[in-house]
Amino acid sequence: MAELDFVFDPNAVADRVDYTPFPVGEYIAEVTGSDYKTTKSGNGKYIELEFTILDGDYAGRKYWDRLNVRHENQMAMDIANASMKDLMRAIGKPNESCNNTNMLHGIPVKLKIGMSKRKDTGEDQNTVRYKPISDAPAASIKPAAANSGGPKKKPWEK
C-alpha cells in the first residue's frame, strides 16, 4: 500500500484520445491543425495535418495525416505531393501555390478512409484520399430549409 502526497481526481482528467482506426467510409472534416516537421531520421520534412470530423457518429474525433513532402525516398515524396494536390483541389484551391498551411484550415473536405496493414507491425491502419465536398452523397449535403423548422444545416453548410 502506498500513501499518496496528493488526491487523484479522475473527474479532472480528460479521457484518452481514441486512436483506433476509423471504419472504412466517407467522412466530412476540416483541417484544424497543421505543422511542418523534420522526420525522425532528420533526412526529410513532412506536413502533419490534423482533421476534425464534422458530422455523424465520429463528430469531433480527430484524424491525422502526414505528407512526406521532402524525403530521401522519391516515391514517398511523389505520394505526398499527389495527396497535397488532391487536398488543394478538394478545398477549392486547385491552382493556388501553398507556402503556409493556414490556407488549408477551416474548409470542409470529404475524407475517403480506407484500411491497410502496417508493414512493420501488421496492425490495421487507415489510408485517406481527399475529395471535394461536392462529391459527398447528396443526402448529406442538402441545404436546410429556411425558417421552416426543417433540418439544421451541417457544420460545413455556412
Q: What is the pLDDT of residue 140?
A: 40
**Is 82 a member of any domain?**
yes
- Asked whether residue 151 is assigned to any structural domain, the reply reads no
Q: What's the length of the chain? A: 158
Residue 102 has pLDDT above 60, yes or no: yes
pTM (two decimals): 0.76
Query: By three-state DSSP, how is residue 106 classified?
Result: coil
Q: Is residue 10 part of a domain?
A: no
Give pLDDT tens digits for 35-50.
Answer: 999 999 999 999 999 9
User: In which domain, by residue range, is 118 found?
Assistant: 20-141
Q: Quick check: is 12 in a domain? A: no
Kind plus residue range of the DSSP H or E element containing 84? helix 74-90
pLDDT over threshold 70, residue 107: yes
Is 108 within a domain? Answer: yes
Would residue 78 count as lying in a domain? yes
Q: Residue 101 maps to which CATH number?
A: 2.40.50
Rounded-to-integer distance, Cα 150 and Cα 152, Å: 6
Does a structural domain hold residue 27?
A: yes
Q: Is residue 135 over pLDDT 60?
A: no
